[in-house]
Amino acid sequence: MPTSERHENGAEETIDAINRKTGRNMPQAIATAVILIVVILACLLISVDAFVALLVVFMLLALWELRVDFATAGLHIPVVMLGICSTVTLVATYLSPRHIVAMAVCLSGSVVLVALAASIKMSFGSRLSLAVANKLSHTDAQARLESSFNHENGEHTHSRLSHVAVSVFTLLYIPLLGSGLIIALTGDHPVSHAITLVFLPALSDTGGLFAGAWLGRHKLSPRISPKKSVEGLIGSMLLAMVGAFAIFACTYDASLWATRWWVPIVAGILTGVVGTFGDLCASMLKRDIGIKDMGHLLKGHGGVMDRIDSILLCAPFLCALLWVTGL
């Protein structure tokens, strides 16, 4: 065998080993991550308004994914009403001079509207059925059997209250947590805050992925997420700290560092712990429904929700940290 072919085969075997260890297609994941980083930075360079518009688009895509995911278990959410309420909540929170008040008022009204819409099951053609069929075709049969729903006997039936409950949960999961991202943009350093809230959880995920793949020995929660490890959690916190120090060094002057030097350390620990908890919550939700990925929109990452679950959960905590410390 020629030397070049041996090198190619060796490289392919190495990539395959990494893919098996991390549980994802790493070349695709890296390419997708680069594209996402470019899009996010481009929006921030254009204006904060463009970044808010990007957040709204991502939230709407996440709602569509959740609609399909819940539909595989026979649960139906009013995606149109949820999309309208989520958009209004995020935009009003950003534009209103009283951001928290606007968020509270919009969410209070949204709960009523979404609950009413969820109690009325409406169909908009066969697109949802096709999406559910495609989702089930990519789902492991064993995962379906281990879920909380009786998938062997067809679609599980639910009461109207179940549809209302899961719809309100979706409302709290996406626009409520997403409002933490929006509120952080209203401070004195919106670009820095946006980078902190978006990229710190991403760095935390990356640190946990590689530390867990190379050093992971002690499982964090084998039943919920077999690939999560204590070593991965430590790697998540360390890389998030490094990222926080880099962001803070490029944003704030030396006078603030004298009294705020500890904030990047707290931010790193907070991001690692809360982000990992967010991943575990999403994994538990997927296991309960009986699916592997929330979607397939982002190659190598699964769906939008698979990418933003830790970002959403970290957002209110990091936003509160920035507010309490006066940053």
- The secondary structure of 92-126 as a DSSP string is HHHHSSSHHHHHHHHHHHHHHHHHHHHTS----SS
For 134-191, write each residue's pLDDT tens digit: 555 555 555 555 555 545 544 556 677 888 889 999 998 888 998 988 998 887 788 8
Backbone angles phi, psi at 220, to 5 degrees: -80, -45
Report the SS3 class of residue 159: coil
Task: Give all strands (DSSP E) within the chain, no chain letters.
Answer: 219-221, 225-229
- Give this prediction's pTM: 0.77
For 1-19, write each residue's pLDDT tens digit: 555 444 445 445 555 555 5
What pLDDT is attached to residue 90?
A: 93
What pLDDT is attached to residue 8?
A: 47
Has residue 296 got a pLDDT over 70? no
pLDDT > 70 in the chain, percent: 73
Has residue 280 got a pLDDT over 50? yes
Confidence band, pLDDT 50/70/90 cuts, at residue 266: very high
* Whole-Å CA distances, 109 to 112, 168, 170, 287, 326: 5, 12, 15, 31, 31
The answer to whether the Cα torsion of 224, 229, 233, 239 is positive or negative is negative
Instruction: Report domain extents, the chain.
Output: 35-324
What pLDDT is attached to residue 56?
A: 92
* CA dist., res. 181 & res. 151, Å (int): 37
For 46-60, write each residue's pLDDT tens digit: 989 999 999 999 899
Least-confidence region, from 90-104, 111-125, 285-299, 307-321: 285-299
For 118-128, write each residue's pLDDT tens digit: 888 655 545 55
What pLDDT is attached to residue 50?
A: 93
pLDDT > 90 in the chain, percent: 18
* CA dist., res. 184 & res. 258, Å (int): 23
Confidence band, pLDDT 50/70/90 cuts, at residue 212: confident
Has residue 292 got a pLDDT over 90? no
Q: Which residue has the higher pLDDT, 140 or 269?
A: 269
* CA dist., res. 172 & res. 107, Å (int): 8
What pLDDT is attached to residue 228?
A: 73
Least-confidence region, from 100-104, 108-112, 122-126, 245-249: 122-126
Backbone angles phi, psi at 225, to 5 degrees: -145, 95
Cβ contact 175:48 at 8 Å: no
Least-confidence region, from 71-80, 145-154, 216-225: 145-154
